Amino acid sequence: MSYKSKIEVKESLETLRKRYSKSKDPRIKLKIKSLILFVEHPEKRQQDIADHLCIGYSTLKRWYKQYTEKGFTSFASMNMGGNKPSVVPGEIHQALEEKLRDSSNPLSGYWDAVLWVESGFGLKIKYQTLRKYMIKHFKCKLKSPRKSHYQKDGQAIEAFFKTA
């Protein structure tokens, strides 16, 4: 059962409405709207406010907890995570770049690249991870041609291309 909120909203209703109208992110607007409803209707239960906003009760409790512990600036901002560190360190990146440019001893495929990184640097990187990394950073396509048939006649091919 939800009880009436015992939160002290430090900002005035005017500032909350201004921030609501200036905000462009709908999630932040929803959070600020919850504070506006709380200030306008202090007699309402938190469950009623959550139902009015079409959010879960636990979400509203989490928002109010964030507001009371960290303040309005943290409450009215969305943390999206940030940049994840690269799986491939800089030294391996340089070595891969040199290996891909080396035409005398090239990589024969992505599995060869995975094994080369594992044996040379002792770092185990998944196949798909290294493949996507190499395509993204080096724009490479490690394709090997299919083997030709052992009975294929070279003269027949030349005759075909001459007549075509």
Which secondary structure element, helix H or strand E, spans residue 8, and what is its range?
none
pTM: 0.50
What span, in angstroms and rounded, lies between the C-alpha atoms of 121 and 130? 14
- What DSSP designation does 4 have? B
pLDDT at 126: 94
Band (pLDDT 50/70/90 cuts) for residue 51 is very high
Give SS3 for 143. Answer: coil
Q: Average model confidence (pLDDT) for the chain?
A: 86
pLDDT at position 144: 61
3-state class of 37 per DSSP? helix
Using 50, 70 and 90 to split pLDDT, how confident is the model at 159?
A: confident
Report the C-alpha gap between 78 and 12 in whole angstroms: 22
Cβ-in-10-Å burial (0-12, 13-18, 19+) of 1 comes to: exposed
Helices (H), 41-123: 46-53, 57-70, 72-75, 90-101, 110-121
Question: Is the model's pLDDT at 147 over the cut of 70?
Answer: no
